[in-house]
Chain A
Amino acid sequence: MVKFLKPNKAVILLQGRYAGRKGVIVKAFDDGTRDRAYGHCLVAGIKKYPSKVIRKDSAKKTAKKSRVKPFVKLVNYQHLMPTRYTLDVDLKEVVTPDVLTSKDKKVTALKETKKRFEERFKTGKNRWFFTKLRF
């Protein structure tokens, strides 16, 4: 009875090119829009997970290993598996539905998302989110 498909919810994509990837809901459209008459949401997720960083890595190596490649996508609720985790990264202004209209807007949004994901990864919080789901 509690709505759980809310912004900042961590989800796993089930279908499509990004199946098996983790993402976070940025904006939810429960009743759909005119173009998409079904419940869907804007998801910002990880296209390429950061590699495992070990203690004896040099600073250059840690920087290289901590890189995150993000994606932004509008996904049907049916193609998501919600989890009990949340990721409170503030992506509301960066990732908006009109980002997906033009290539340049998308590129700038992805750059900003990449930055925010990487700094969150470096703090060591939300470790579950940045580990690859093994299946």
Chain B
Amino acid sequence: MSGKYTLGYKTVIDTLRTSKGKLIIISNNCPPLRKSEIEYYAMLAKVGVHHYNGNNVDLGTACGKYFRVSCLSIIDAGDSDIIKSLPGDQ
């Protein structure tokens, strides 16, 4: 309910460039070149990347959307503690 996010490769890279992204989630069937590129940007920006255990269809469903989502970026956690709990257990 609270918190902000963006979906999609283009916006994910944008949020990384402007250092707005706090956590990136990538589906497991994201093409490897794109996955490496996102991970490299995230490495430069010192942002955590979580590899979701499911493909883009599942990730889209998990977001409550009726389309596929390959990668998403969390800009603002809001009330959730995903950012504190997720990079911790990696």
* Chain A residues close to B by CB (< 8 Å): 1-5, 30, 39, 77, 82, 84
Q: Is the CB of B18 within 8 A of A39?
A: yes
Q: Is the CB of B41 within 8 A of A2?
A: no
| A75, chain B: closest CB distance, angstroms | 13
Give the complex CA separation of A4 and B47 in angstroms. 12
* Chain B residues close to A by CB (< 8 Å): 17-19, 21-22, 41, 43-47
| B35, chain A: closest CB distance, angstroms | 15
| B5, chain A: closest CB distance, angstroms | 15
Give the complex CA separation of A30 and B45 in angstroms. 15
Give the complex CA separation of A4 and B17 in angstroms. 7
Give the complex CA separation of A62 and B17 in angstroms. 40
Give the complex CA separation of A2 and B21 in angstroms. 10
Give me 18 A-to-B residue pairs in the complex whose CB atoms sit less than 8 angstroms apart, sorted by A's number.
A1-B19, A1-B21, A1-B22, A1-B47, A2-B19, A2-B44, A2-B45, A2-B46, A3-B19, A4-B19, A4-B44, A5-B17, A30-B18, A39-B17, A39-B18, A77-B17, A82-B44, A84-B43
